[in-house]
Amino acid sequence: MQEYPVYGTTDFHEGAIDLKRDHLPCYLQLSIKDHEILYGKEIEEGVPQTRNCQDVETLKLTLNDPVNEVTVTLFFSIYKNSPVIVRKNRIQNDGNETIWALVTRDRKEVMIGYYRILAQPNATTCEYIKLPFLDKSSYYEEKETGMLYNGSLLKEKEIRKPSQFNGANESTAQLFGDYQSKIIYLTKRS
């Protein structure tokens, strides 16, 4: 049995993380990168937790998959006078690019966040983001540009990633330099 099971291994437990890259599942090969014993425990604001940090020892295991650019940190806290082990994990994307989406329950509004840390030299202008959770029988309008997209195309095909300046596309580029970000806001049209 694995302490942190992932898909694609011989452990038949449900995976603790479901990671996709370009809409294909990634089968993580996490290996121990570091370990540390802490006296006390880290306090994170806004997260439910015990506040008594005295008489606590915490084992911190750092697992890494360099191919899929993911680091998972596991914390196991043991209290001196309690028969309790408190577990917590932290998942970190070590890659250059992050894409997330927020969708309303009725699928009428979609907000897509795109972030890239470092610009890519000689970047292509034809990279895409798939949106498989949209209503394929509807149309969606991009707020900033007013462009209208068929939901079926967004679901099956893709919406273009914001184009990065590559030397030849100065008039059409949406992102310039390092630490790039863009929010794409789509609304469903009747």
110: three-class secondary structure by DSSP: strand
pLDDT in the model for residue 1: 42
Would you state the pLDDT for residue 124?
62
List Cβ<8 Å contacts ≥24 apart for 15-19. 16/89, 17/70, 17/72, 17/91, 19/68, 19/70
CA atoms within 13 A on the CB side of 135: 18
pLDDT of residue 35: 93
Q: Tell me the pTM.
A: 0.62
Three-state DSSP at 68 gives coil
The pLDDT of residue 156 is 64
pLDDT of residue 73: 93
At residue 97, the pLDDT reads: 80
Low-confidence ranges of the chain (pLDDT < 70): 1-2, 8-13, 21-24, 47-53, 120-126, 155-158, 165-169
Query: Taking the CB of residue 58, how many other CB atoms lie within 10 A of it?
Result: 18
pLDDT of residue 153: 72
Q: What is the pLDDT of residue 74?
A: 92
Distance CA 111, CA 109 (A): 7
Residue 160, both tokens: 């273009």
**How high is the pLDDT of residue 122?**
61
Q: State both tokens at 92.
A: 């970190």
- Residue 31 burial class via C-beta count within 10 angstroms: exposed 0-12, middle 13-18, buried 19 and up: exposed
Kindly state the percentage of the chain with pLDDT values over 90.
12
